[in-house]
């Protein structure tokens, strides 16, 4: 662990998004006196990503509303933000990074927060930039919104991928009255992240909102036909559409770290202090992979919680404070008027309870257990379940499973928690 620090030290952060920006401000909070540089290769003042597929997508909002911090904030906190500047190499021997403008910048500590990019599946003909879009950054969304404005009547959109991003985009497009077909390769939506009860909830929700959800459809190639696109599936089914939006997952931006000889598995491997195998280099956010002690799993999380909390841990450690990363992961997704909130990690559960509140047909919670231990909860339109589950997991309390499984019993701490 570090500790000594002075005004002439410098912490360099690569990537100015949720993780990188949180780390910069946390460094000041924990007392870092030296310089802080953030290098971000895109041009926008760092912004929030969650609204990109939600409110920002379907509302006419100014991009300013998305900003994580105001420009003044960086100045007040003496954080030097270099936009439109990519880091092209890390030289560990001389402890410096190289920018795409050819400058070499020395660091005492380096925080690697390069995140991820959209995974582009290998589908023949997928490169028609004027009509096929990914969903990762502000430019992607601005381009989609521009494109949609060129249609005088409701266009047809086809979404490839029924994960959270694909579903949120479907919901936003419906709010804009765009016709939507959503193709999912698996036999149910959200298969990678949740159980069949949640999948079927969202399947029904989208069908009710007139999205054509079609599962077990593997797209093999795409052809341009005049202004439209023809989409061909493995089983011979074809679709004609105006635009295609792809949401099939992410690819972590680890290449610079790899070239510098840092250990990479699914993401950049870090210890509980978010340190890589080089103690002066930290990796945080979507690009990192940590050993989660609570869940005994190696996790590469893609969430705001993970980006912000890892940023705090890295910053605190650099400033000499004792703080380990031992989170209870949480996540949310908003679609139509449904709010999904997830706390914990359900991987390895042995049994689950599905609780449907009486008289609130859209209020559902799924409780995942490993034997008696509560691992995680998916709460659909049920913030109380989300908050209570967070508390139970944090305090390692026991759930009264019988009461939990019985919606006749009031949902309250008194009834849900076993008193000791």
Ligand X SMILES: Cc1cc2nc3c(=O)[nH]c(=O)nc-3n(C[C@H](O)[C@H](O)[C@H](O)COP(=O)(O)OP(=O)(O)OC[C@H]3O[C@@H](n4cnc5c(N)ncnc54)[C@H](O)[C@@H]3O)c2cc1C
Residue nearer to another protein on the CB measure, 52 or 288: 52
DSSP characters over 131-165: TEEE-SSHHHHHHHHHHHHT-SSPPEEEEE--SHH
Q: Which of 228, 186, 184, 233 is nearest to 206 (CA)?
A: 184
Are the C-beta atoms of residues 349 and 370 closer than 8 Å to each other? yes
Residue nearer to ligand X on the CB measure, 52 or 213: 52
Binding site for another protein (CB under 8 A): 25, 28-29, 48, 50-51, 54-55, 69-70, 73, 77, 304-305, 308, 330, 332, 334, 339, 341, 382-384, 386-388, 391, 413
For residue 218, the partner it binds in ligand X, another protein, none, with Cβ less than 5 to 8 A by kind, is none
For residue 40, the partner it binds in ligand X, another protein, none, with Cβ less than 5 to 8 A by kind, is ligand X
For residue 341, the partner it binds in another protein, ligand X, none, with Cβ less than 5 to 8 A by kind, is another protein
For residue 378, the partner it binds in another protein, ligand X, none, with Cβ less than 5 to 8 A by kind, is none
Are the C-beta atoms of residues 340 and 378 closer than 8 Å to each other? yes
Are the C-beta atoms of residues 310 and 303 closer than 8 Å to each other? no
Residue nearer to another protein on the CB measure, 185 or 384: 384
Residue nearer to another protein on the CB measure, 220 or 390: 390
Cβ within 8 Å of residue 397, ≥6 positions away = 374, 391, 417, 418
| β-pair type (238-241, 243-246) | unpaired
Residue nearer to ligand X on the CB measure, 24 or 417: 24
Binding site for ligand X (CB under 6 A): 14-20, 39-42, 49-50, 52-53, 86-87, 113-116, 135-136, 165, 253, 256, 285-286, 302-305, 307, 331-333
For residue 87, the partner it binds in ligand X, another protein, none, with Cβ less than 5 to 8 A by kind, is ligand X
Residues 119, 218: Cα–Cα separation, whole Å: 16
Min CB(124)–ligand X separation in Å? 25
Residue nearer to another protein on the CB measure, 201 or 239: 201
Chain centroid to CA 45: how far? 19
Residues 318, 320: Cα–Cα separation, whole Å: 5
For residue 253, the partner it binds in another protein, ligand X, none, with Cβ less than 5 to 8 A by kind, is ligand X
Q: Which of 370, 367, 295, 349 is nearest to 326 (CA)?
A: 295
Residues 342, 74: Cα–Cα separation, whole Å: 32
Min CB(136)–ligand X separation in Å? 5
Residue for token digits 């890892």?
Answer: 310
Min CB(183)–another protein separation in Å? 28
């Amino acid at each position: 662990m570090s500790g000594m620090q002075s005004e002439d030290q410098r912490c360099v952060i690569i990537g100015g998004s949720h993780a990188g920006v949180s780390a910069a401000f946390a460094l000041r909070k924990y007392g870092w006196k030296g310089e802080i540089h953030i290098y971000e290769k895109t041009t926008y003042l760092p912004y929030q990503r969650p609204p990109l597929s939600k409110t920002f997508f379907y509302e006419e909002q100014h991009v300013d509303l998305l900003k994580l911090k105001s420009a003044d904030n960086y100045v007040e906190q003496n954080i030097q933000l270099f936009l439109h500047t990519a880091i092209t190499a890390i030289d560990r021997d001389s402890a410096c990074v190289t920018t795409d403008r050819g400058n070499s910048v020395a660091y005492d500590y380096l925080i690697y927060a390069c995140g991820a990019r959209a995974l582009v599946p290998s589908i023949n003909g997928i490169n028609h930039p004027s009509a096929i879009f990914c969903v990762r950054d502000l430019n992607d969304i601005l381009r989609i919104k521009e494109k949609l404005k060129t249609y005088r009547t409701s266009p047809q959109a086809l979404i490839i991928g029924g994960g959270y991003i694909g579903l949120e985009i479907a919901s936003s497009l419906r709010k804009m009255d765009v016709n939507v077909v959503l193709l999912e390769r698996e036999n149910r939506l959200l298969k990678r992240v949740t159980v069949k009860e949640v999948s079927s909830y969202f399947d029904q929700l989208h069908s009710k909102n007139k999205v054509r959800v079609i599962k077990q459809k593997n797209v093999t190639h795409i052809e341009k036909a005049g202004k439209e696109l023809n989409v061909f599936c493995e089983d011979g089914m074809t679709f004609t559409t105006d635009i295609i939006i792809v949401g099939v997952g992410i690819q972590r931006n680890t290449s610079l770290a790899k070239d510098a000889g840092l250990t990479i598995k699914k993401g950049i491997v870090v210890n509980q202090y978010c340190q890589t195998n080089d103690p002066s280099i930290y990796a945080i956010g979507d690009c990192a992979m940590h050993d989660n002690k609570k869940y005994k799993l190696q996790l590469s999380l893609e969430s705001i919680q993970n980006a912000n909390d890892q940023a705090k841990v890295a910053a605190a450690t650099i400033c000499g404070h004792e703080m380990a990363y031992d989170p209870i992961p949480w996540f949310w997704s908003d679609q139509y008027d449904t709010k999904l909130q997830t706390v914990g990690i359900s991987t390895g559960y042995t049994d689950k309870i599905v609780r449907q509140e009486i008289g609130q047909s859209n209020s559902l919670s799924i409780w995942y257990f490993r034997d008696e231990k509560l691992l995680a909860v998916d709460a659909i339109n049920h913030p109380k379940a989300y908050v209570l589950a967070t508390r139970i997991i944090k305090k390692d309390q026991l759930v009264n499973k019988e009461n939990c499984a019985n919606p006749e019993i009031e949902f309250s701490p008194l009834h849900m928690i076993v008193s000791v």
